[in-house]
Amino acid sequence: MVLSKQELKEVENTFIGLLKNEIGPLLKSHAGTNLQSYDDKSNGVDLVTALDKKIESIIKSELASKYPKFKFIGEETYVEGVTKITNDPTFIVDPIDGTTNFIHGYPYSCTSLGLAEMGEPVVGAVFNPHLNQLFHASKGNGAFLNGQEIKLTERPLILQKSLVALEGGSERTESSQGNFDKKMGTYKNLLSESGAFVHGFRSVGSAAMNICYVANGMLDAYWEGGCWAWDVCAAWCILRETGGIMIGGNPGEWNIPLDRRCYFAIRSGCEPKDQKQFAEAFWSHVAGKLEY
Amino acid sequence: MTVDLASIEKFLCDLATEKVGPIIKSKSGTQQDYDLKTGSRRVDIVTAIDKQVEKLIWESIRAQYPTFKFIGEESYVEGESKITDDPTFIIDPIDGTTNFVHDFPFSCTSLGLTINKEPVVGVIYNPHIDLLISASKGNGIRVNGKGFDHQAKLESMGSLVLNKSVVALQPGSAREGKNFKTKMATYEKLLSCDYGFVHGFRNLGSSAMTMAYIAMGYLDSYWDGGCYSWDVCAGWCILKEAGGRVVGANPDEWNIEVDNRTYLAVRGTINNDVDEQKKYIKDFWACVDGQLKYD
């Protein structure tokens, strides 16, 4: 079974209703009020709140009642090594993307609802209730911001003139073979006058929001390692519907699975050959292969 | 001379939202032609709109406050424009010009006033997300014209501790030499689990918006070098009214001038706990690897 364009649009509308009516208001009213009461995940930087779990269970039960045959993968219920993305229609959900932002009240936490089929993102909705930005798309149906179709102005895409999203992430152990040192080395190469000398980098602290901003051209690209399928699934679909591309963070990875954990999003508004050239120029500054 | 700071704040708010904001919003992302301030491969960008907006602000201000001095980013002459004790408007027509060119929704206008070299009025307006933050000395801060209870916000945030904080960092446009090295090394130390191990860093690409966000309790601190008085003047007044503090980016620079060029801005603390704030500043300075220096 492959879902039709119409069926995908219905899922998109279900996502929109759920986000606007139930999840968004919850996120907005609780942001920045929980600083003293978070669990430590791996090292205390990756923060999880009780609300994260609560929101995921609301989403899971609402989607299950409407789409009982679809599978469900969520950040809070994921089991490493056990949970796998199959070819079946599968909801891939992050209840609160940008949990650190959420805890600190920085207005870039959002909910990310995706649907994958045959391992490919086919529906996505990302809602930031603090700034009232709802990005949504489904395969073949275009991408929208708050109901308005996203259309990028045609313009050149050149590494030196680009604005790129980069994040520190929560893995911070210093070692010459580790991902942290490779990331910092890459950032330095991108910024340096003797390197790529990009216009600048931005960091909003949410993978989903970064990809959405690439999708509508506010950012030119986003390079990341360490995030998960639920961080990228929804926004990936939105990006692709605008003509943007998602490839791997490591050089040469033109085709990647959803759970590659190492991603590189590039905006549209130019020819595919310009995107390819941009990717190759960017990859030449990557300081060592990221491994997860 | 007595100056009614509240009425100046109101005047600047109206100017920002009615005249300046609409221009920034409508022109954002449309300026494919821009000058590179110095050299051929620089990334310090200025557009024709910056100059046009500064002229508009200057003319509006001069009509209302003809005796006050004026320093603006676009009319500034290095070595000549000096901040004196006189009432001086210090303004950045468009802060976050790179954002403006790329249509990243964090360009804003930043309008400040100093008297006796101290920032006493500050108004920052981001038309993309329709956010107006303003303050004047002794009058607290307002968000979109409504009073903002910063103490209540600080109470919900808990204590100010380096390894639980979210820090704003911006590499700026100078990307070679000692300062660039110091910045990158310091970022790494702040992030590293062996040193600062902060919760995270954020980069909005606008000093003014960053300081406004600290005042609103969205961020804990901001460390930067290379910016100018007009980048920080308005934000400094706003932050101070919200219990925050601005010191130098280099260790032990407890008292600095508006044009210090290096800054560490830190949020307020519950019940104005000055010692907690001081400890945060010292812990932060301990991660500074090298010295930022600007001519």
In a shared domain, residues A86 and A127: yes
In chain B, count H helices and then E strands. Answer: 9, 14
Q: Which two structure tokens, joined as six digits, stand for B170?
A: 């911006």
- Which residues touch B268 (CB under 8 Å, ≥6 apart)? B150, B151, B154, B242, B243, B244, B245, B277
Taking the CA atoms of residue B25, residue B29, residue B35 and residue B40 in that order, the dihedral angle to the nearest 10 degrees is 150
Kindly report the CATH number assigned to the domain that includes residue B194.
Answer: 3.40.190.80
Position A241: which residue type? Answer: E
Q: Residue A220 and residue A274: Cα distance in Å, rounded?
A: 12
In a shared domain, residues B107 and B210: no
Told to judge if B73 belongs to the known catalytic residues of this protein, a careful annotator would answer yes
The residue annotated as part of the active site, out of A52, A117, A224, A231, is: A231
- Read off the pLDDT of residues B62-77 as tens digits, 9 standing for 90 and up: 999 999 999 998 888 8
User: Could you tell me which of A196, A58, A108 has the C-alpha nearest to residue B41?
Assistant: A196
Q: Is B293 helix (H, G, I), strand (E, B) or coil?
A: coil
In a shared domain, residues A106 and A238: no
Q: Could you tell me how many CB contacts below 8 A there are between chain A and chain B?
A: 123
Domain contains A235: yes
B215: nearest CA partner in chain A: A106
In a shared domain, residues A214 and A269: yes
| A42 pLDDT tier (thresholds 50, 70, 90) | very low
In a shared domain, residues A68 and A196: no
Domain contains A106: yes
Residues from chain A that touch B170, judged by Cβ atoms under 8 A, are 200
- Read off the pLDDT of residues A45-54 as tens digits, 9 standing for 90 and up: 445 567 888 8
ipTM attached to this prediction: 0.85
| A239 pLDDT tier (thresholds 50, 70, 90) | very high
User: Could you tell me which of B226, B231, B223 has the C-alpha nearest to residue B187?
Assistant: B223
In a shared domain, residues A22 and A139: yes
Domain contains A288: no
Domain contains B24: yes
Kindly report the CATH number assigned to the domain that includes residue B39.
Answer: 3.30.540.10
Domain end position, chosen among A98, A131, A149: A149
- Read off the pLDDT of residues A7-32 as tens digits, 9 standing for 90 and up: 999 999 999 999 999 999 999 988 88
Told to judge if B231 belongs to the known catalytic residues of this protein, a careful annotator would answer yes
| B243 pLDDT tier (thresholds 50, 70, 90) | very high
- Of all residues in chain B, what percent carry a pLDDT higher than 70? 95
| B40 pLDDT tier (thresholds 50, 70, 90) | very low
SS3 per-residue string spanning chain A: CCCCHHHHHHHHHHHHHHHHHHHHHHHHHHCCCCCCCCEECCCCCCEECHHHHHHHHHHHHHHHHHCCCCEEEECCCCCCCCCCCCCCCEEEEEEEECHHHHHHCCCCCEEEEEEEECCEEEEEEEEECCCCEEEEEECCCCEEECCEECCCCCCCCCHHHCEEECCCCCCCCCCCCCHHHHHHHHHHHHHCCCCCCCCEEEECCCHHHHHHHHHCCCCCEEEEECCCHHHHHHHHHHHHHHCCEEEECCCCCCCCCCCCCEEEEECCCCCHHHHHHHHHHHHCCCCCCCCC
In the predicted model, is pLDDT for residue A36 greater than 70? Answer: no
pLDDT value at residue B36? 59
Domain contains B294: no
Domain contains A80: yes
A105: nearest CA partner in chain B: B218
What's the predicted TM-score (pTM) here?
A: 0.91
| Residue range of the domain that includes B231 | 154-285
C-alpha distances (whole Å) from B259 to each of A151, B209, B228, B238, B246 are 42, 18, 6, 17, 12
The verdict on a CB contact (< 8 Å) between B184 and A187 is yes
Show binding-site residues of A for Mg(2+): 75, 94, 96-97, 231
Domain end position, chosen among B148, B179, B195: B148
- Read off the pLDDT of residues B210-239 as tens digits, 9 standing for 90 and up: 999 999 999 999 999 999 999 999 999 999
Q: Residue B200 and residue A26: Cα distance in Å, rounded?
A: 24
Domain end position, chosen among B105, B128, B148: B148
* A187-214: average pLDDT: 95
Q: What is the mean pLDDT of chain A?
A: 92
Establish if A175 touches chain B: CB-CB under 8 angstroms: no
What is the number of structural domains in chain B?
2
In a shared domain, residues B138 and B167: no
In a shared domain, residues B125 and B239: no
pLDDT value at residue A40? 47
- Read off the pLDDT of residues B156-200 as tens digits, 9 standing for 90 and up: 888 999 999 999 999 888 888 899 999 999 999 999 888 888 999
Domain contains B176: yes
* A101-117: average pLDDT: 94
pLDDT value at residue A41? 47
- Read off the pLDDT of residues B85-103 as tens digits, 9 standing for 90 and up: 999 999 999 999 999 999 9
In a shared domain, residues B140 and B170: no
| In chain B, beta strands by DSSP E | 35-36, 45-46, 69-72, 88-95, 108-115, 118-126, 131-136, 141-143, 146-147, 166-169, 200-202, 221-225, 245-247, 262-266
In a shared domain, residues A253 and A212: yes
Domain end position, chosen among A128, A149, A170: A149
Q: Residue A73 and residue A92: Cα distance in Å, rounded?
A: 5
Domain contains A290: no
- Of all residues in chain A, what percent carry a pLDDT higher than 90? 80
In a shared domain, residues A145 and A124: yes
Domain contains B200: yes
In a shared domain, residues A145 and A203: no
Establish if A78 touches chain B: CB-CB under 8 angstroms: no
| Inter-residue long-range contacts of A187-192, CB under 8 Å, 24+ positions, other chains counted | A187/B184, A188/A287, A188/B184, A189/A285, A189/A286, A189/A287, A190/A164, A190/A166, A190/A282, A190/A285, A191/B171, A191/B175, A191/B180, A191/B184, A192/B175, A192/B176, A192/B180
| A138 pLDDT tier (thresholds 50, 70, 90) | very high
| A171 pLDDT tier (thresholds 50, 70, 90) | confident
The verdict on a CB contact (< 8 Å) between B193 and A47 is no
SS3 per-residue string spanning B83-144: CCCCCEEEEEEEECHHHHHHCCCCCEEEEEEEECCEEEEEEEEECCCCEEEEEECCCCEEEC
| Residue range of the domain that includes A258 | 159-283
In a shared domain, residues B185 and B110: no
What is the number of structural domains in chain A?
2
In a shared domain, residues A113 and A50: yes
In a shared domain, residues A111 and A240: no
In a shared domain, residues A83 and A105: yes
In a shared domain, residues B164 and B278: yes
The residue annotated as part of the active site, out of B50, B231, B241, B259, is: B231
Partner B, chain A 15-54, Cβ-Cβ below 8 Å = 32-33, 35-36, 43, 45, 47
The residue annotated as part of the active site, out of A56, A75, A220, A259, is: A75
Residue with tokens 């939202």: B17
Domain contains A14: yes
Q: Residue B54 and residue B70: Cα distance in Å, rounded?
A: 11
SS3 per-residue string spanning B206-229: CHHHHHHHHHCCCCCEEEEECCCH
In a shared domain, residues B71 and B175: no
* B23-33: average pLDDT: 87
pLDDT value at residue B48? 84
Domain contains A289: no
- Read off the pLDDT of residues B128-150 as tens digits, 9 standing for 90 and up: 999 999 999 999 999 999 999 99
Domain end position, chosen among A127, A149, A171: A149
Minimal Cβ distance to B158: which of A36, A107, A180: A36
- Read off the pLDDT of residues A208-228 as tens digits, 9 standing for 90 and up: 999 999 999 999 999 999 999
In a shared domain, residues B137 and B225: no
Show binding-site residues of A: 75, 94, 96-97, 231
* B203-208: average pLDDT: 96
In a shared domain, residues B116 and B39: yes
pLDDT value at residue B47? 78
Q: Furthest-apart CA pair in chain B: how many Å?
A: 56
In a shared domain, residues B16 and B130: yes
A197: nearest CA partner in chain B: B175
Kindly report the CATH number assigned to the domain that includes residue A103.
Answer: 3.30.540.10
In a shared domain, residues B116 and B182: no
In the predicted model, is pLDDT for residue B61 greater than 80? Answer: yes
* A86-94: average pLDDT: 97
User: Could you tell me which of A275, A225, A279 has the C-alpha nearest to residue A251?
Assistant: A279
Domain contains A154: no
In a shared domain, residues B144 and B12: yes
In a shared domain, residues A168 and A125: no
